[in-house]
Amino acid sequence: MMQIIVQGLLLSGLYALIAMGFMLIFSIGRTLNLAYGAYIMVGGYIYFWLSQQLGMPKIVGFAGAVMVGALMGFLKHRLIVKPLKGDAVAVEISTLILAIIMQSVMVLVFGDASKILLPIIPGVVTVAGAQVTFNILAATVMSWIIIAALYAFVRGTHIGRAMQAVSMDEKGAAISGVDPDKINMITWAISGALGAAGGVFFASYTQLSPQMWVAPVIISIAIVIVGGIGSIIGTLIVAHIIGFLEVSIVALWAPELRGVFTMLLIIGVLVMRPQGLFGREEH
């Protein structure tokens, strides 16, 4: 039982981090950014390349992954999203194509085989009778620090509040003297950085492979939609529902059914309550 609670908390923190970056983009442009998975994948690979293939310090690898993620987000906004001028279908399709392109770039550079990341921090600790590696514990703690920082940023700073304003009403924000274009750009960059950071932890939790981006992107989209658009708290709650659901099924029933119930939950909620469980009404 303790094992489930501890494992559930750890996995949920990771999911929450991954979902946050997606939530920013989705709430600001209602864009189903399928290339978000590419940030996760590229983040993991950049970290692997810098820290394990080049032997640099882990913090450099992490910083490199975050910077590349931010750059990808920035470039994507400039080169793809902005020229398409808010055509949602076109953005969805072009981001899907982009995600596949990034996947093949990773195959081209690193090969098709899965890679195991060395633990970020080696060692095992026993928490309330449950075995927890320092690695996943560190990932969770970092996730929570990043989420808290993001919350403070969105709520407390001028740019953060401008982001909220643009997500609610872009025209209204523009009238109040916010430059939506600049805010969009910043949001895309932050989203890329968050995705890449999440990717490093996610890769160390599972493993690194060119196909690794599909499941986390579906999970993060689902967390955001089920949690309600633009709600950080809703995102956190649903990340925990899905995290605990998966851990319980692995522990109590059958590990291979892990993803099945997540998908069923997503489909069920989307069909019953498309506005999500905690979201504001869309009009």
Binding site for other proteins (CB under 8 A): 30, 32, 80, 83-84, 87-90, 92-94, 96-98, 100-101, 103-105, 107-108, 112, 210-211, 214-215, 218, 221-222, 225, 254, 256-260, 263-264, 266-267, 270-271, 274
| Residue 256 CA: distances (Å) to CA of 13, 88, 128, 259, 260 | 22, 35, 26, 8, 8
Interatomic CA distance for residues 276 and 267, integer angstroms: 12
Enumerate the β-bridge partners of residue 178.
Answer: none
Centroid of chain to Cα 114:
20
Smallest separation (angstroms) from other proteins to the CB of 195: 17
CB-nearer residue toward other proteins: 84 or 185: 84
Q: Which two structure tokens, joined as six digits, stand for 250?
A: 């692995």
Smallest separation (angstroms) from other proteins to the CB of 110: 11
Smallest separation (angstroms) from other proteins to the CB of 226: 10
Smallest separation (angstroms) from other proteins to the CB of 107: 5
CB-nearer residue toward other proteins: 175 or 254: 254
Centroid of chain to Cα 182:
22
Smallest separation (angstroms) from other proteins to the CB of 263: 4
H-helix or E-strand containing 175?
A: helix 170-175
CB-nearer residue toward other proteins: 135 or 231: 231
CB-nearer residue toward other proteins: 60 or 88: 88
CB-nearer residue toward other proteins: 59 or 253: 253
CB-nearer residue toward other proteins: 177 or 281: 281
| Residue 252 CA: distances (Å) to CA of 28, 52, 127 | 39, 35, 20
DSSP 3-state percent helix, strand, coil across the chain (nearest 5): 75, 5, 20
CB-nearer residue toward other proteins: 123 or 253: 253
Asked if residues 35 and 21 have their Cβ atoms less than 8 Å apart, the reply is no
Looking at residue 49, the DSSP 8-state letter turns out to be: I
Smallest separation (angstroms) from other proteins to the CB of 68: 17
Smallest separation (angstroms) from other proteins to the CB of 212: 12
Interatomic CA distance for residues 21 and 35, integer angstroms: 12
Smallest separation (angstroms) from other proteins to the CB of 96: 7
| Residue 263 CA: distances (Å) to CA of 140, 154, 199, 246, 266 | 23, 30, 21, 11, 5
CB-nearer residue toward other proteins: 24 or 142: 24
**Axis crossing angle, helix 214-227 with helix 232-252, rounded to the nearest 10:** 130
